[in-house]
Structure 1
Amino acid sequence: MKHLSRYDIKAIAGKYVQAYMALPDVRNTQIYRIDPELLLEKVLGLNVEYQHLSYDGSILGMTSFTELGVQVFEDNDSEAFFFLDGKTVLVEKELNYDSKLKGRKNFTLMHEGSHQIFKMLFPNDYGITQKSAGVHYYKANSERDKPISDWEEWQANTLGAAILLPENLIKRELCYVFYRRNKMG
């Protein structure tokens, strides 16, 4: 896998944010945030599905570049299988129902979508190691306070954050807040 810099990843994010902004659903509206589910479905052509991915909720998302079956759990905790088709992002079902977890859901969607973006951009370099060739699992707090040991995961986190928080939207909102504060104060 190529080791991309933050600058490289930010440039990639900019292209996908631009494609998102050009969507008919978005084009002539005031945008305050990126809707990751809309981006995954309309820009990347991915399917988003919600399943229970683990007994304890520790697995938040998964995707694969090939067809393969993965273990999921029914609402009664019985084991089941879901067949990934190479174009699907699976997200923990509870993230879709708890409004307090919206940020976690959005980041999980973009993290898994970022794996798919890297595979599209670098098909001969990404996901070719034995470790990354199967299913990409995103676990809660899996990278917290650790040195970078898995570049694919670090790059997916970095790209996901860059897409969810595009610099131009952040700057525009900061200017708006600063303007309102000075006008009122």
Structure 2
Amino acid sequence: MPILSRKDLERISRRVLFRYLTLSDSKMDRIDPVDFAEKICGLHFAFADMSVTGSILGLTSYSDVDLTISVPRGNGSVQEFHLNGNIAYVDQNLANAGSVGRLNFTLVHEAAHQILGKLYPEEYNPSAQPFICRLADERCTYPITDWVEWQTNVLTAYLLLPRELIDRYMDELGLGRQIKLLNKVFAPKEYALFSEMAKRLGVSKTALSIRLDNLGMIGRNDFSDPYAPIHIDADDFDTAWEVVVIMAKINSKALDPQRYACIQAEQQELEQQYSTHITMARLCPYCKLRLETLCKGAHGATYLKCPQCGEVVFFPPVVFRIA
């Protein structure tokens, strides 16, 4: 089978999408998987309980020769699926669960198999592999061991999320040319706009984050781990500081109001007890007479603003004394 790069697959997606646009009459707000599959591949979908465990999401074939696949059921019976190259079966649970993004990705995924099979009929040999299953636990791992599924997944993302639609919604939602920090906890406003973008495009947030990342449209991507630690290199100090400033959005009062009130009371007490004016002097150890004044002024207590929660913290003077 051919080993296609991301650039190869993007070129294929551009040709296919151009063909799809010529067959469509109205302005496109998103890619409609059912309409796309029918117009481009002549492919129709049927929903069924694909497996007892839910491990199979989709089933299709490259060949236009009638083919019957038998899948064992939990009660000892066998369910048969009839394939002819013009039909793809999709797990009914995807529709029942209301997971629009995952459902749409599976539908276009099955169409992408058909597209690659027709473009490379010798490499995607139907006699060697007459049908294709999309499994629920498919993950992109490196090094790549299943090039058929990797290429199909990448092509699916390009077809569902063309650059023009992404640019359009980035502008409409006020996200500009790049999301500097994608983080549900520390950048909730940007994350909400990102979620709205995924909704409008009819894709999952996972698929959109991967696509934006590959396009270089996310500065720091914490989608999978919003509490990931920040690693700052000396050359990236300015960017890292900007990230820290953006992260100053934890509402500590809302997280734990009781603890917040206790700390606030302690802070007020410290401010009353200590002055920001301090005098340092040498005292006689015998009678405590001040022999010499070293310095005096605002050298003691200080205020610092926390870059994470935005609270201004009062710190009393540091006192050194002989035990």
Aligned counterpart in structure 1 of residue 156 of structure 2, from 142, 160, 173: 160
Aligned pairs for 1:48-67 within 5 A: 48-66=45-63, 67=66
Which has more radius of gyration?
2
Q: How many angstroms apart in 2 are the aligned matches of 1:177 and 1:60?
A: 33
- One-letter identity of the residue aligned with 1:3: I
Aligned counterpart in structure 2 of residue 140 of structure 1, from 133, 136, 139: 136
Q: What is the match of residue 33 of structure 1? A: 30
Q: What is the match of residue 318 of structure 2? A: none
- One-letter identity of the residue aligned with 1:117: I
Q: How many angstroms apart in 1 are the aligned matches of 2:117 and 2:147?
A: 14
For the aligned residue pairs, the C-alpha RMSD in angstroms reads: 2.4
Percent identity between the aligned chains?
37
Q: Relative to structure 1, is the Cα distance of residues 37 and 73 closer, same or farther in structure 2, using a 3 angstrom cutoff? A: farther
User: Please, what TM-score do these two structures have when normalized by structure 2?
Assistant: 0.50
Q: Relative to structure 1, is the Cα distance of residues 94 and 136 closer, same or farther in structure 2, using a 3 angstrom cutoff? A: same
Tell me the CA shift for residue 77 of structure 1.
9.0
Q: What is the match of residue 20 of structure 2? A: 20
Q: How many angstroms apart in 2 are the aligned matches of 1:162 and 1:77?
A: 41
Q: How many angstroms apart in 2 are the aligned matches of 1:43 and 1:179?
A: 32
User: Please, what TM-score do these two structures have when normalized by structure 1?
Assistant: 0.84
Q: Relative to structure 1, is the Cα distance of residues 111 and 77 closer, same or farther in structure 2, using a 3 angstrom cutoff? A: farther
Q: Is the 8 A contact 1:51 1:73 kept in 2?
A: no
Q: What is the match of residue 69 of structure 1? A: 68
Q: What is the match of residue 125 of structure 2? A: 127
Tell me the CA shift for residue 128 of structure 1.
5.5
Q: Is the 8 A contact 1:53 1:73 kept in 2?
A: no
Q: What is the match of residue 104 of structure 1? A: 102
Q: How many angstroms apart in 2 are the aligned matches of 1:42 and 1:73?
A: 33
Q: How many angstroms apart in 1 are the aligned matches of 2:72 and 2:93?
A: 12
Q: Relative to structure 1, is the Cα distance of residues 8 and 60 closer, same or farther in structure 2, using a 3 angstrom cutoff? A: same
Q: Higher mean Cα deviation, 113-122 or 133-142?
A: 133-142
Query: Secondary structure at 2:174's aligned position in 1?
Result: helix
Matched residues, number:
174
Tell me the CA shift for residue 179 of structure 1.
7.6
Query: Secondary structure at 1:126's aligned position in 2?
Result: coil
Q: Is the 8 A contact 2:94 2:102 kept in 1?
A: yes
Q: Deviations over 1:125-178 (max 9, x none)?
A: 123584xx1221111131244531011111000001110010111011111222
- One-letter identity of the residue aligned with 2:12: I
Query: Secondary structure at 1:18's aligned position in 2?
Result: helix
Q: How many angstroms apart in 2 are the aligned matches of 1:98 and 1:20?
A: 29
Q: What is the match of residue 81 of structure 1? A: 80
Q: Is the 8 A contact 2:140 2:150 kept in 1?
A: no
Q: Is the 8 A contact 1:52 1:72 kept in 2?
A: no
Q: What is the match of residue 2 of structure 1? A: 2
Q: What is the match of residue 42 of structure 1? A: 39
Aligned counterpart in structure 2 of residue 171 of structure 1, from 167, 172, 181: 167
Tell me the CA shift for residue 98 of structure 1.
2.7
Q: Deviations over 1:41-84 (max 9, x none)?
A: 1221112111111001110001112321113589x995321210
Q: Is the 8 A contact 2:45 2:90 kept in 1?
A: yes
Q: How many angstroms apart in 2 are the aligned matches of 1:172 and 1:12?
A: 22
Q: Relative to structure 1, is the Cα distance of residues 78 and 102 closer, same or farther in structure 2, using a 3 angstrom cutoff? A: farther
- One-letter identity of the residue aligned with 1:113: A
Q: Is the 8 A contact 1:55 1:77 kept in 2?
A: no
